[in-house]
Structure formats: C-alpha cells, structure tokens
Amino acid sequence: MRSFGRSTSSSPPPLPALRHLTRFVYSGVGDSALVNVDNFLSSQTVALHTLVIRHSQRYPASFLPTGNLRNLYLTMNISSADFLSQLFTHGRQLEILRLEVELEHGCVLSTVFRSYAKPNSFPTLRKLSFVLTSAAHNFTDPDLFPAIAEFVRGYGMLDALCISNTYDLAGFGYDAAIWGVLPSLVNLRTLLIDVPKDMPPALSAWLIPRGVTVLGLQVARQATVDINVRHYLPSPSREIPYRHCAQHLWPGLPNGLKFLALPVSHTEVQNFIRSGLPALRLMRLRAGNLYTVHGRDSERELEHWPDRWERFYFDDHLDELDCGELRFLYPRFSWAW
C-alpha cells in the first residue's frame, strides 16, 4: 500500500504497520486518537513523503516526525512556537508546506519565521501557505505577518503562495505593508492573499507579479469571541464589504490569468470579463460559486458550476480548463492531497 487515509470522530483508530507507505492523510478529533497517529508516524520516516493532518486539537508531542517528508499540510491548534521551530529544523527537504493554525496564548511564531528567513533553510521549498484561523483571546503577536513576509522574501524561487488572516484578527500585523513582498517573487505563478482594509484595490492589482496565472483575492470576515473557549471565532455571515472592486482591479491584473477568485457577485463582474484577460478560463466569486468562462472577447459568458461538479468532478474539470495549479489553493475540493 502506497497511500492511506483515515477519518475518525473520537475513538483511537487502529493503524497498521505500513513500511512502504508514501502518503498519509488523517482527519479527526480527540487527543487520544492523535497519540496513536504520532506513534504510527514515528515508524514511517523512511518512505513517507506526503503527510496531511487536519485536527481540532494540538499535536500530542513537541516534535512531528518529518523524516523524508516533501509535502506537509497541517490544520491544527499550536500551543508552542517550539513545535514550529522543530518542524523547520528537521524539514529542510520540504517542497510544499501548508499551515492552517489556531494559536494558543503565548505561542509567538514570529521569532521562528524570522530565524528561518534565508533560502538555505529550505533549499527545495516551492509552495508555501500560512493561514491564521483563530487565536486565544487577548493574545497578540504584532510581528507575525511582517515576519512571514520577511520569510517569504528570502524564497524568491516560490511558485505558489497563500497568506491569510482569515478573520482579520487584530494584533498580528496584517496590513498593506505585507503586500510589499510580492513584486520580489518573480517566479510566482499561484497566489491567494487577503486584501487588507488599508489597501486600495487599484494599487493591489499592480503589486501582483506579472507571471501569476492563478489568483485568489479575498477579504477577511469579522470575528466574534466565544467566552466559553476564549478564542476568536468566525461570523461567516458578516463579510467586510468589498464593493465595486472589479472596475478598479481589472486594468492592473496580470494578463495571463487562467483562474481568478474575487469577493464580488456574478453581476458585478459580468461586464468586465468581455474586456481583457484573454486566457481566463475559470472564476470563483462571492459565496464560493465557481464559473467557467466561455466564448471570446465581447461574447464571453459565465457558466455556473452545479454542486455535483465541485463534489465529484473537481479534479477532472481543472485539468480540462488547464487550471491544475488551483489544487494548491483549495485542497479541500481536491483529491490531490
């Protein structure tokens, strides 16, 4: 067996010994289950090259066995910066790194990112994603996103990048200055990034590297505080307005875009698809709706994807539309991981 995936609710999963396993995907809840996963991974350090863990709790050990991993995707709670430091120290061979994290109080990751802001730390790194989804109440790390920007600046060979403060959490340093790193990324082809409130839409378009062909621009959703868990949590129905952005963005967008995601409605963008961006094949608009772009020039139209296309045929349609790079931005829709 070369690939193995497991999802569980609470009880520890029975994990067999698979010495030749190359890809492992785990999704679940419950600390006891993760203990078994940690024991399992400790015996898989030779052949395993792709690891995906989506979990609601922190990892039970201070060290995640990375071994010969080339692709790592973690969605979890992080309680200590030492966990990330250990991962970086032993993950020099990583080619793809995706982190979607909830931060506990005192987990200052900015110092770790600054310590590894040099190309020789990850000589093979080509795709990077950092998404902050939640943080302990009253906890801040004002240098977090500036440190991530400095880290990214040291890796001009990146061809895919995602940076997101999903719910616009205050105290983590996400503002227009973060976009200053983008022009230095001359090899970038895939980009998903938040547009901060202090960034004019027209300026943001011109900061995007001209070689980008897959682009997602999003705005943060406001967050509330759950007193019971003392964490910032999303309020999905309260999205920060981003109206009339298409008319300001369109002239400055890279001409070779094949995919474009914007937080606008179908009606707002319909007129603009008939001028410019001749390579555009697919769009993702407000509420996550996907649209195929048909026709040429003044005859271009948008066709809405039925739900079944996203659920069952996502990968097939991406290949048909020459938008395979999109799998990195939206891995939850794809079997690529």
Query: Is 3.30.70 the CATH number for 70-269?
Result: no
Residue 14: what pLDDT? Answer: 63
| Torsion (CA) 172, 178, 181, 187 in degrees, nearest 10 | 90
| 39 within 8 A of 14, measured Cβ to Cβ | no
Query: Residue 229: pLDDT above 50?
Result: no
Query: For residue 234, is pLDDT > 50?
Result: no
Asked whether the predicted pLDDT for residue 301 surpasses 70, the reply is yes
Hey, is 35 helix, strand or coil? Answer: helix
Distance CA 67, CA 119 (A): 20
User: What is the mean pLDDT of the segment spanning 67-81?
Assistant: 89
- Secondary structure class of 314 (helix, strand, coil): helix
Per-residue pLDDT, 132: 96
The residue that leads in pLDDT, 55 or 113, is: 113
Mean pLDDT value of segment 300-306: 92
Q: Mean pLDDT of all residues in the chain?
A: 83
Q: How confident is the model at residue 198 (pLDDT cuts 50, 70, 90)?
A: confident
Instruction: Kindly tell me if the per-residue pLDDT of 72 is higher than 90.
Output: yes
For 15-60, the pLDDT digits (tens) are: 666 777 888 888 877 656 677 777 777 776 667 889 898 887 787 7
To which residue do tokens 């906890």 refer?
A: 139
**Does 5 score more than 90 pLDDT?**
no
Highest mean pLDDT among 3-7, 59-63, 165-169, 308-312: 165-169
- State whether the Cα torsion 315-93-57-40 is positive or negative: positive
Share of the chain above pLDDT 70, in %: 83
Using pLDDT thresholds of 50, 70 and 90, give the confidence band for residue 270.
confident
Report residue 9's pLDDT band, with 50, 70 and 90 as the boundaries.
low
CA distance 16 to 13: 10
Q: Which residue has the higher pLDDT, 20 or 241?
A: 20
Radius of gyration of the chain (CA): 20
Domain boundaries, the chain: 70-269
* From 77-81, 109-113, 225-229, the region with the lowest mean pLDDT: 225-229
pLDDT digits (tens, 9 = 90+) for 139-168: 999 999 999 999 999 999 999 999 999 888
**Quick one: pLDDT at residue 263?**
84
